[in-house]
Amino acid sequence: MKLNVGGIDRILRIVVGLALIAWAILGGPVWAWIGVVPLVTGFFRFCPLYSIIGLNTCPK
């Protein structure tokens, strides 16, 4: 598993993920639990979709 999420991309994923999860907990729609996906990909610095399409935001 090669890292492919870096820098600003990682921070944005974590912030958006936490915001969506908080919204779901505070009575938002059920679909807001999708925030788990960007949160996990931000923490692990790996996005399977990026691997499929050949994208990499990590510095070389």
Q: Predicted confidence band at 1 (pLDDT cuts at 50, 70, 90)?
A: confident
Q: Predicted confidence band at 28 (pLDDT cuts at 50, 70, 90)?
A: very high
**Average of per-residue pLDDT across 44-57:** 95
Q: Predicted confidence band at 54 (pLDDT cuts at 50, 70, 90)?
A: very high
Span 34-43, pLDDT tens digits:
999 999 999 9
Q: 59: exposed, middle or buried (C-beta count within 10 Å: 0-12, 13-18, 19+)?
A: exposed
Which residues have a Cβ under 8 Å from the Cβ of 14 and sit 6 or more positions away? 38, 39, 42, 43
Q: The whole model's pTM is what?
A: 0.90
